[in-house]
Structure 1
Amino acid sequence: MSFHTYALAEERNLRVVVRGLPKELETEHILSDLKSQNLPVREVHRMHHPTDKKRYLDLCLVILDLSPEGKEIYNIRRICNLTGITVEAPRNRGIVGQCHRCQLYGHSAKNCYAKPRCVKCLGDHGTPECTRTPESEGPPSCVLCGEAGHPANYRGCTKAPRRKWRGGANRRGRAASASRSRPRQHAPSLAPILVSQPAPPQPHTKPAPAKGSSGQGVSSSVPSAPASNAWVKPPAIVSAAASRPAPSLQAQKPKLAPQASSTFAADFSLVCSFFNNINVAEVSSLARKLREAKSAQDKLNATIEHINLIDAIGSFQCA
């Protein structure tokens, strides 16, 4: 009896994709390194290009126990002393899985107990036992549809399930195509309604009686025109202050700076007279020698050397 089962939740494995591992790195080294990091790893497989199985990628599929210890693989930062790796969940491409034992879709070979069937021919044997080669027996045959020209894992087979599109763009595309195929419904015209609707009744207004020459009231249905147009904006009111002429500006003479006081002039004259009679450089030289003098005799010698300066200072008289 042919049947298949499904794995329980506690029997399922954790599958992750490790990105950034060089193609030259063997999967055995990756497996041993992950186990050395106390990760419950079961299998490591090198991933290849979808259309070329000999074109390996820098991606590896790692299968671990579905446990808290197995989920620690998302926290590792180094494998085989290589950094720059990323661990991510496998991407769901929306393709139904195919059993490699009976070639049917919807379950895996691990839980399949059906009779093995070959993926390349119509023989009563499994795929590993098939001795057929393309050079000897021509194109393959499909055990699902019975036609020759493609194997049983060909996604274009009439028995293969179609891809389940999950993208939002595809849903929007299908919604747009459905809206285009739906017949357009025009809004009903409002012209008949507007034509058939009667005009609203006008209110009755009784004009005020006007006295004629005979003194009797004369009725008139035409109201008198207003004295002024209420919609015309009245002219702006010009204030009295704005109507006054601007005062004329008379040229004013610039104010003269105050003259220097006589006291400042006398002080300035005194300073100039002092610097003319006293040699400032000689004053600096005398002060330097007095600072450098180490004894009273040295100070006396400096004073005698500049005796003329001392006499000039003593004989200076204020004007």
Structure 2
Amino acid sequence: MRRRHLVHFAAAAVAAQALPSLAQQAGSFPSKPIRLLIAFPAGGPTDITMRQLAENASKILGQPVVIENKPGAGGTLPATQLQTSQPDGYTLAQIPLGVFRLPYTTKINWDPVKDISYIINVTGYAFGLVVPADSPIKNWKDFVEYAKANPGKLSYGSTGNLTSPHLTMELIAQKLGLQLNHIPYKGSADLMQAIGGGHIMAAADSTGFAPLVQAGKLRVINTWGDKRLEKFPDAPTLKELGLDMVQNSPFGIGAPRGTPPEVVQKLHDAFKKAMEDPSYVQALARYDMSPMYMSPSQYTKFAQDTFATEKALVDKLGLAKPN
């Protein structure tokens, strides 16, 4: 009995010594550069706006926030990488909406709601559908009529399989009885090269297409927000076209499960301040995006709710993985 008490006492002493160490680590955070994994390639709207946010946060935290691009897999690679990263606040990831669809479409051994520490939601996208300026498809009516007359022949590109642009287009096609030919790309930069080069007939994307529209190379035939975009006032919304749909695909920043609450709070406070800097607001405005703040508790609740609604969408489109 005495020996057992001594073992317990020794274990308690070790634990007591460890507690100040953990507290000191959280208190001195950050003491080295922080990696922020981005789900899409360099040069697109996500990359450009997140680099500005990271630069602002670096000044506040006193350590560099270094962007690493991890494109592919429908924008889910950064969240997947969190599952094998230390929960110390030095590896963060952008969390696109596609992360919440992952368990329904792919076999994974982690939970998007429970296995990510949600830090802050920062913005969402302004989406739309574009065609080449010299396309015979001049508007949405032309698009629908061509698709109906040529089942499976109207090719459109998106920023990847099971991303919001892809699933929104498939939902539209289902509602209207269209058969479209979907071509996935790794991100907006690749997608714009494809449509600019004449490899596809249309592109569903965030407003990374804006420079090519303004250069007279592409035409916007609809947008997906609640109201028309100031930059493209002639392009109707899906709601105006009789499709009761709005898609803005909010995204933010997460850390590995088990990240100390003090570290989560410190990161939240820094990125919230970074969001409020005019330079970030201006970077977003280039792509008709705007700040979309959620606190850790709000973002966690959003993750829970979205996890449920995305299951309904995947089931509706018949894209769920076989059992």
Normalising by structure 1, what TM-score? 0.20
Q: Would you tell me which structure has more strand in proportion to its own residues?
A: 2
**Higher helix share goes to which structure?**
2
* TM-score, with length taken from structure 2: 0.19
Q: Which has the larger radius of gyration?
A: 1
